[in-house]
A and B are shown apart, each in its own frame.
Chain A
Amino acid sequence: MSHGFLSISGLEKSYGNHRVLQGIDMQVDRHNVVCLIGASGSGKSTLLRCINALEPIDAGVIMLDGDPVSGLGVDVNRLRRRVGMVFQSYNLFPHLSVIENIMIAPMKVAGMGRVEARAKAETLLARIGLANRANYRPDRLSGGQQQRVAIIRAMAMDPEVLLLDEVTSALDPELVGEVLDILKDLARSGMTMVLATHEMGFAREVASEVCFLQHGKLVEKGPPGQIFTEPREEETRRFLRRAL
């Protein structure tokens, strides 16, 4: 078994007696983009939350560059600095301006000075074309703009991996493109990413590997060309027929 940069093996997670993740094995190499696809409720969000230690796991091992992610003695705050996460509902902090949303982690977690953090945030904002919205409250931005800010808020910590949970699902269709463009940029720049997504076109274009989950099991994984054109498993075929 090869050991990727992010390596998950035998991952089990239950809520009560509902087994939400059942023996997940997967590897993510550096600079790769892995897309998780699967019906709603198949466990994609839970898997991402486990990788970021937002949920305790019941069994298995998650390793990031050789360091265990969960278990006794793991400094989760240290781990989370290395792993960025973006949520479906953006989760910007409503009491902070756009730029403060981006500055807060560099300042309060990484101990960066205010001036330096601001400069960094401004650079990131310029990159997504929102430099002129720096002092707005998040609720004055469109959904697409908010999600772009959430992405660079995560990037401000220079994470080694970025986890994205259906980041375009809450958006109006005409706003999806601007967010996907940012993600494509990030992929091109070599960012390691794991995304749960329903955007099959995007997965096809950007993913290095696609993983299909169903009822908490990783049914099939492979390069997008293979998964989307000649899936091996009947369940994958059935899901894709409905999704495409």
Chain B
Amino acid sequence: MTQVAWAGTAISLALLAFPVRALAYMTRSSALAGQGELVAARVPAWLSRQTALAGMGYATFWLVLVAGYVFLTANDFAVQKAFLNFEYLSRSAFLVLSAARINLYITLGASVIILILSLALALMRLLPGSAGRPIRLLAIAYVDFFRAIPTIIVLYMVGFGLPLTKLPWISQLDGIWYAIIALSLSFSAYVSELFRAAIESIHASQVAAARSLGLSGFKTYRHIIVPQAIRQVIPPLLGFFIALQKDSALVLILGLMDVFGQARFFSANFFNLSPVSLVGVLFLIVTIPQTRLVDYLIERQRRHGGS
């Protein structure tokens, strides 16, 4: 405790070096100005401003660190004990982390269904002419419906509703399958809009070029439009994929022992939130590299695909 206090005080005092140097530059600048060296005086004046600004930046950073430390240690480490108790962490870590495979199954299973269903919905919605209208309306109704209803409610309805139907096969699926179905239903509505926007953004001149070569409407979609749309849609699609991973934690409302369900079980037993913190840390580790990748892909696409 005292060691920490000493270290903290030392760092705080060290930060005083910034204003001291800034003052020194300032003095030099005034001296030069006093000798009539107005141009030469600008350099130390500029250095003084830079030093002062850097000092403020570091001081802010330090303040946040100190505030965080104070929060964790206040009331005899009450916060740290509630959220980051190492004993509880180590006792629950293995089971909690291995429960993450349920989230993995759900995420991967739902991803496959979402890709197929959303592309189909997008294509249905883009069917031309009056013959296509009923199908278009169907797709629009679907997308409107599932974008309006919160995912957690879809999950609840599917997970508890389908078993009640007593329908031969549908009512006896494993809980994981209800989770996959519900998340797929919900996410496909959003993802289909991504596909639709991407398909519509492919310029009409590409269609004209394909048709003029004799490709039929279907083949134009299949070989020219959809491949280009998929390329465009990859970065935002990955964004949805990340959201899906996170939303897979919602399945605990179905009583599934996924990573969160398992952590909550331990938390309730220990009367301590450390196992849940572990889940948070796991999501951080898994998600941050992916979001960086998405940023990178978007940036690259912005630089290359000018048109």
Contacts and interface: CB of A to CB of B under 8 A. Distances in A.
A104 interface: yes
B212 A84 contact: yes
Given A91-B206, A93-B206, A94-B228, A85 B223 contact: no
Contact of B213 (A78, A89, A94, A153): A153
A154 B206 CA distance: 14
A54 B211 contact: yes
A52 B212 contact: yes
Most buried by A among B209, B210, B211: B209
A85 B212 contact: yes
Given A87-B205, A108-B219, A108-B223, A95 B228 contact: yes
Interface string A94-122: 11000000001100111000000000000
B294 to A, nearest CB: 20
B74 to A, nearest CB: 58
Contacts of A49: 208
Interface in A73-93: 76-78, 80-81, 83-85, 87, 89, 91-93
Interface residues of B, number: 19
Most buried by B among A105, A139, A150, A154: A105
A13 to B, nearest CB: 16
A179 interface: no
A139 B303 CA distance: 13
B208 A54 contact: yes
Contact of B215 (A78, A83, A95, A108): A108
Contacts of A105: 213-215
B186 to A, nearest CB: 30
Contacts, number: 61
Chain B, interface SS category: helix
Contacts of B219: 108-109
Contact residues on A (Cβ < 8 Å of other chain), bracket: 20 to 34
Given A105-B214, A109-B219, A91 B209 contact: yes
Contacts of B215: 77, 104-105, 108-109
A146 B163 CA distance: 59
Interface string B214-252: 111001000110011001000000000000000000000
A80 B209 contact: no
Nearest to A105: B213
A157 B205 contact: no
Most buried by A among B208, B213, B228, B304: B213
Contacts of B216: 77
Contacts of B210: 93
B305 to A, nearest CB: 8
Contact of A87 (B208, B224, B227, B307): B208
Interface string B184-218: 00000000000000000000011011111111100
A81 B224 CA distance: 17
Contacts of A52: 212
A242 B209 CA distance: 32
**7 closest residue pairs by CB, A with B:** A91-B209, A85-B212, A105-B213, A81-B214, A109-B214, A80-B214, A91-B205
28 contacts: A52-B212, A54-B211, A76-B211, A77-B216, A80-B213, A80-B214, A83-B212, A84-B212, A84-B213, A87-B205, A89-B205, A91-B205, A91-B206, A91-B209, A92-B209, A93-B206, A93-B228, A94-B307, A95-B227, A95-B228, A95-B231, A104-B215, A105-B214, A108-B215, A108-B223, A109-B215, A153-B213, A154-B212
Given A54-B211, A77-B216, A87-B209, 5 more contacts: A49-B208, A76-B211, A77-B214, A80-B214, A94-B228
